[in-house]
Amino acid sequence: MKKLTKHLIVAAVLVAGFAAAFGSYLLLSPGTERGNGGIDAGPAAEAVPVRQSSHRLTDPADSELTLVEFLDFECEACGAYFPVVEKLRAEYGDRVTFVARYFPMPGHRNGELAARTVESAARQGRFEEMYTKLFTTQKEWGEARESKEGVFRRYAAELGLDMDRFDADLTDPETAGRVQEDQRDGLGLGVQGTPTFFLEGRKIPNPASYEQFKALIEERLAD
């Protein structure tokens, strides 16, 4: 199992590298359309890795370190890193602040919709539950050419959300704007593909395994 996970992460690093090159072209080229899953957003003038409004998966009282991930719920590389981040979170959640930020990539038909789905759940206090739901079910809806809004509504119902409120939030321009805020920061910070990690405010190369990620965190905690 550990060997399989390591191979998945190595593959994810390669996929992320290709996605970064292709995604940066799409993101920064004129004519990028939201219909392809992207967002018409420019870089933030004063971009920062984490804001007060950013979604924190852990919020320790005495945080020693902050790890930020710019992610796309439809990104296969992000899906491969998800169990690694979860394992790190379980191990270091009382010392490290884990932050998730939206960065839907062009070319993913449901990437931006997935981000709005999670943000709509967050408005009912269920960010983490929907974040987990979309990653653990990614194979069921990812890489589709048609809209998966019906699937996402089913997930919302399974989580017990107020569906009238969920539907209203999903189409609320403020919800899309909240997703855009994250992406603008990402663009301003040089994010070109997903996942992209920032450790203590600095962008890091994607670790090739859980062991490498753990060693990097341990090193920073020891400073």
State the amino acid at position 28 in one-letter form: L
Grouping H, G, I as helix, E, B as strand and the rest as coil, residue 186 is helix
For residue 34, how many other CB atoms are within 10 A of its CB? Answer: 14
Q: What is the pLDDT of residues 83-106, one digit of tens each?
A: 999 999 999 999 999 999 999 999
Cα 187 to Cα 7, 51, 105, 175: the distances in Å are: 29, 15, 11, 19
Pick the residue with more confidence: 221 or 27? 221
| Residue 10 confidence (pLDDT) above 90 | no
Say what the pTM is.
0.86
User: Are the CB atoms for 130 and 124 separated by under 8 Å?
Assistant: no
Q: What is the pLDDT of residues 133-187, one digit of tens each?
A: 999 999 999 999 999 999 999 999 999 999 999 999 999 999 999 999 999 999 9
The confidence score (pLDDT) of residue 41 equals: 72
111: left (phi over 0), alpha (psi -120 to 50) or beta: alpha
What's the average model confidence in pLDDT over 184-193? 97
The confidence score (pLDDT) of residue 20 equals: 44
| Nearest partner of 55 among 68, 65, 72, judged by Cα | 68
| Residue 219 confidence (pLDDT) above 70 | yes
In the structure encoding, which two tokens stand for residue 81, read together? 């890193």
The confidence score (pLDDT) of residue 24 equals: 40
Q: What is the pLDDT of residues 112-130, one digit of tens each?
A: 999 999 999 999 999 999 9
Whether the bond into 106 is cis, omega within 30 of 0: no
Whether the bond into 205 is cis, omega within 30 of 0: no
Q: How far apart are CA 131 and CA 151, in angstroms?
A: 14
The confidence score (pLDDT) of residue 121 equals: 98
